[in-house]
Chains A and B, each alone.
Chain A
Amino acid sequence: MANVSDRVRRAWVPIAVITFGLLYPTLLPYLDDIPLIGTLLPGVGTVVIMFVFTMMAVGLNVVVGYAGLLDLGYVAFYAAGAYTAAWLASVQFEQVTFHFGSSGISDKLPGIHMSIFLVLVIAGSFTALVGIIIGLPTLRLRGDYLAIVTLGFGEIVPQFVRNADSIKGFDLTHGSFGISPIDSPGFGAGLGAALGLPESYQQSTNRAELYFYTALALLLFTVFVSVRLRDSRLGRAWVAIREDETAAAAMGVPLMRTKTWAYAIGAFFGGVAGAYYASFKSGAFPSDFYFNLSIFILCMVILGGMGSVWGAIVGGLFLSYLDQEGLAKIGTEVGIQDVPKYNFGIYGLIIVIVMLFRPTGLIPERRHKRELEEGVRDTPFYDVQLEGSDTDRDSQND
């Protein structure tokens, strides 16, 4: 029974964090004046990228953390999302001219141009479909086998993207040049003017803030869905599978369906993040989708604590900050120029140190913590009652 004060106590941290997030662009000029810390703070544009990566970390957390399916090819979903945005909101398919809610561009511009907000939904759904297609044949495999298959997909997708500039003469992905420019989000002249919302982000004076708030909204949505799913029937089924697949199946959890859902939902957020990032950068390039990125996002989840949403957020924000600005800035402060060059060695070191000394991550999830601390290998099914402990039958008799 959670009473009101209990709820308030549990809610104040998220509320404080969200408030700080909302005020960040406004506060930044003042925060910059703080000595030492001020110079290290990320700019608003960087925070957008951080939010996108954090979104992916929270999405991957559903797959790796909740369901315990190690996915080493998450970048494939990111790529699928980015290219969906590129197909549906650029001049790539110049054979057709189709506009639906496009903003900030001429109606005569060839190619498919749809409202980015719609594209985000489509990209997420399409990527979830890709996740299901990848998942159906492979999710029967367990543990490390699955990890390797996902790695295979993670390697094939970028190569496909790079080579698919001439499939029977049809240019699907524009090869290694990537697709650029991609339309920017916006609410269009009619709706935007009526509601006082910006017509097109790209043409607004405060575009960095607009991208920032949209990214924040997407991230909050991801976190909300992720938290609600964790406590749902499906979420409990995921955890059951993670803890013991055989036992879960014996208790009537449909393995394939449950795992596929985890995959599809993880993929959905990867796709939305990819699509939004593509729109933010106004381009989708195959060089963005390399294997290291999958590991980078996995590193965020591991650092934060597998299965813990807060962990994924902290890990995601921290590592993507390091990647975007932090390493370079710290390097300059310390006086070493080459720090960003060795970023992946640093992430590797983080992974190893976390796995060896704190396998539960910075902010451990309760159940997962126990699993890692007590170990799961060779747990015997003791029929003998341990001293001082109740068996199920005893507690029922009480």
Chain B
Amino acid sequence: MVPRTVTGWLGLGFIGVIVFWLGANLVNDPSEFFNVALIGLTNGAVYALVALGYTLVYGILQLINFAHGDVFALSGLVASTVIVGWVGLGADSSTGEVVLGVGLALVIAVVFAATLNTGIEFVAYRRLRNAPRLAPLITAVGVSFILQDVGLVGWGVEFRTTEKLIPGRDAFTIGGVHFPWDKLGVLWLTIPALTALTWLVRSTKQGKAMRATSQDMDAAAMMGINVNRTISFTFALAGGLAGAGGLLYFLHFTSMRYDTGFQLGLIAFTAAVLGGIGNLPGAVLGALMIGLIEQFNEGLELYSPGSDWTRSMIFGILIATLVFRPEGLLGERTPEGG
């Protein structure tokens, strides 16, 4: 794998710098390195749920669903109403109450987000399916702003907050690396969701229909696949993941606002692009990497630019990925990436 072009060498040099930076920090303080890495992985797991929604929709419609981040934020706000407003969970709630309350919030958030996302597709994107490619993207940007204002009208400008429902004390410790309950809790919710999704897309009839539709919409229709229903299903699935992501984000980061989804949506989208947009394992890989990079940048001691530059770094990665390797880490080369 010797690069043939100047950009190839630049990309290799870029990776070399990152490897050196991580290596130096690992040698400097191994247990701190792994603690930071665990936080990064947990955040990355939350991002993955949102990133998968981008990649699912892109895979089937070649549309960057800009409004996805805001579906995530709205469902997080709905979850906040359920958890704090209706059930009234707090730090002193018993384990049973927390499990039941969070379970109820999860169901409501997932159903809400799935319905919302399907509705958006039906109202805003379906008519534009044969329009030039930029038309639905621009519409998605518009929908994103509308959803933000819905959040603003419904929940106000203040952050909705919750107390830590899953305790932050250590479940176990290995060689100075802490594994707290709340971090593990996120992973326990994320991993089954991802496994189920993989099974659904790989092994069910509906998943087969999705893959067929994404390859060639017209040919799929000719084979008797109901394309509209498959696309609606994909949007519902993406929305459901965003709903779960919204709830997890709210529990994990404990605060949420109408515009949370915009930032997180961009991060998740970057993750999807980094992994190779349209590629499901790629989105997860990309999200975990973004989570790690973010935490490494903010948490490591040696040569870290610090939290002021986190966003610049993430978008720098986005640009670098698109310029050097537009197909992403696991994706296939497309004419658009040229």
A residues touching B (Cβ–Cβ < 8 Å)?
A: 68, 70, 72, 137-138, 140-145, 147-149, 151-153, 155-156, 159-160, 162-163, 291-292, 295, 298-299, 302, 341-342, 344-352, 355-356, 359, 371-372, 375-378
Q: A149-B319, A152-B315, A356-B127 are in contact. Are A142 and B142 (CB under 8 A)?
A: no
Q: Is the CB of A159 within 8 A of B312?
A: yes
Question: Which B residues are CB-close (under 8 A) to A291?
Answer: 262
Measured CB to CB, the closest approach of chain B to A52, in angstroms, equals 22
With the chains together, A147 CA to B319 CA distance in Å?
11
Closest to B262 in A: A291
With the chains together, A41 CA to B152 CA distance in Å?
29
**List of 10 A-B pairs having minimum Cβ-Cβ separation, nearest first:** A345-B149, A348-B145, A351-B142, A152-B315, A352-B142, A348-B146, A348-B142, A355-B139, A142-B336, A344-B145
A-B contact pairs, 27 of them (CB 8 A): A70-B134, A138-B319, A141-B326, A141-B336, A141-B337, A141-B338, A142-B336, A145-B336, A145-B337, A152-B316, A153-B315, A159-B309, A162-B308, A163-B312, A295-B141, A295-B145, A299-B142, A302-B138, A345-B146, A346-B149, A355-B136, A355-B142, A356-B127, A356-B139, A375-B130, A376-B132, A377-B132
Q: Is the CB of A352 within 8 A of B143?
A: yes
Closest to B63 in A: A144
Known pairs A145-B326, A147-B134, A163-B312 / 18 extra A-B pairs, C-beta < 8 Å: A144-B133, A148-B269, A149-B318, A149-B323, A151-B315, A155-B315, A159-B308, A163-B309, A298-B141, A344-B149, A348-B141, A348-B146, A351-B142, A355-B138, A355-B142, A356-B139, A376-B132, A378-B218
| Residue interface bits B307-321, CB-to-A below 8 A is 1, else 0 | 011011001101100
Q: Which of B133, B145, B150 contacts A351 (CB 8 A)?
A: B145
With the chains together, A315 CA to B315 CA distance in Å?
30
- Majority secondary structure of chain A interface residues (helix, strand, loop or mixed): helix
Q: A148-B273, A345-B152 are in contact. Are A298 and B311 (CB under 8 A)?
A: no
With the chains together, A314 CA to B99 CA distance in Å?
56
Judge if B144 is at the interface, Cβ distance under 8 Å.
Answer: yes
Measured CB to CB, the closest approach of chain A to B148, in angstroms, equals 7
For chain B, residues 105 to 146, give those with C-beta under 8 angstroms from any C-beta of chain A.
124, 127-128, 130-139, 141-146
Question: Which A residues are CB-close (under 8 A) to B7?
Answer: 137
Measured CB to CB, the closest approach of chain A to B137, in angstroms, equals 5
Judge if B64 is at the interface, Cβ distance under 8 Å.
Answer: yes
Q: How many residues of B contact A (CB 8 A)?
A: 48
Q: Is the CB of B135 within 8 A of A152?
A: no
- Majority secondary structure of chain B interface residues (helix, strand, loop or mixed): helix
Q: Is the CB of A351 within 8 A of B138?
A: yes
Judge if B322 is at the interface, Cβ distance under 8 Å.
Answer: yes
Q: Which of B137, B152, B273, B335 contacts A341 (CB 8 A)?
A: B152
Closest to B313 in A: A156
Q: A141-B338, A155-B266 are in contact. Are A70 and B145 (CB under 8 A)?
A: no
Judge if B153 is at the interface, Cβ distance under 8 Å.
Answer: yes
Q: Is the CB of B326 within 8 A of A356?
A: no
Q: A141-B338, A345-B145, A348-B143 are in contact. Are A159 and B127 (CB under 8 A)?
A: no
Q: Is the CB of B337 within 8 A of A372?
A: no
Q: A342-B149, A344-B148 are in contact. Are A70 and B138 (CB under 8 A)?
A: yes
Question: Which A residues are CB-close (under 8 A) to B144?
Answer: 348
Q: A156-B316, A344-B149, A348-B146 are in contact. Are A147 and B337 (CB under 8 A)?
A: no
Question: Which A residues are CB-close (under 8 A) to B311?
Answer: 155-156, 159
Question: Which A residues are CB-close (under 8 A) to B148?
Answer: 344-345, 348
Q: Which of B133, B142, B218 contacts A349 (CB 8 A)?
A: B142
Closest to A73 in B: B315
With the chains together, A344 CA to B259 CA distance in Å?
12
For chain B, residues 54 to 100, give those with C-beta under 8 angstroms from any C-beta of chain A.
62-64
Closest to A136 in B: B323
Q: Is the CB of B131 within 8 A of A359?
A: yes
Closest to A302 in B: B138
Question: Which B residues are CB-close (under 8 A) to A350?
Answer: 142
Closest to A355 in B: B139
Measured CB to CB, the closest approach of chain B to A327, in angstroms, equals 13
| Residue interface bits B259-293, CB-to-A below 8 A is 1, else 0 | 00010001001000100000000000000000000
Question: Which B residues are CB-close (under 8 A) to A159?
Answer: 308-309, 311-312
